[in-house]
Amino acid sequence: MCPQSAQYVVAHSPIPIMFTGFEIGYDIMTGARLCMEAPEDHPVRKAYERFLGQAGNRHSWDLTAILYGVRGLANYWETTVAGGCIEVDSNGTNRWLSNPDKGHRYLQCKMAPQAISTVLDELLAGYLRT
C-alpha cells in the first residue's frame, strides 16, 4: 500500500467511500476447494498455490471487496451509519474517526464469515459446473 495515495483518495474523494476493513477479509478464508477441484493448470489455482507455497486457503480481503462491488449488500453485509472517515498515517496504519462531513461507511458481516467463505468458494469454483 502507498500511504500517500491512500491519504489523497480519502481526502479528495468527491463521493462517500465504502471501506472493507482488515477484520472482514481476515476471517473469510477461500481457495482450498479451488485448489482441490480445479485442473492443475488452472490459472487461479496456480496463483493460490504459488502465493501460498501449497494448496490451501487464503484470507480474502480482495474477494470480499469484489463481492460487495458486484452484488452490493445482499444478505452478506451491513454497514455502519454514514458519518465517519478513515485517517491514514504516513506509515499506512489507519483508524476510523467520526466525521459527519465525509459520510463514509465500512462493511460489517451480516452472515457468518464461514458462510461468506462458502459463497466465494462457490463463485471461484463456478467454472466446474460449465
Residue 96 covered by a domain? yes
Residue 99 covered by a domain? yes
- Residue bearing the bigger pLDDT, 26 or 127: 26
Number of domains in the chain: 1
Residue 35 covered by a domain? yes
Residue 54 covered by a domain? yes
**What is the model's pTM?**
0.83
| Cβ pair 61, 20 in contact under 8 A | yes
Whole-angstrom CA distances from 92 to 22, 60, 65, 88, 98 are 13, 20, 19, 6, 19
The span from the CA of 125 to the CA of 33, in Å, is: 7
Residue 38 covered by a domain? yes
Rg (CA), the chain: 17
pLDDT digits (tens, 9 = 90+) for 15-39: 889 999 888 999 999 999 888 888 8
Residue 82 covered by a domain? yes
Residue 130 covered by a domain? no
Quote the percentage of the chain above a pLDDT of 90: 50
pLDDT digits (tens, 9 = 90+) for 62-101: 999 999 999 999 999 999 877 888 899 999 999 999 888 8
∠ Cα 83 88 92 (to 5°): 145
Q: What is the DSSP string of 36-96?
A: HHS-TT-HHHHHHHHHHSSS--EE-HHHHHHHHHHH-STTTEEEPPS-EEEEE-TTS-EEE
The span from the CA of 122 to the CA of 113, in Å, is: 14
Q: Which domain holds residue 115?
A: 3-119
Residue 126 covered by a domain? no
Is the pLDDT at 127 greater than 70? The verdict is no
- DSSP class of residue 112 equals -
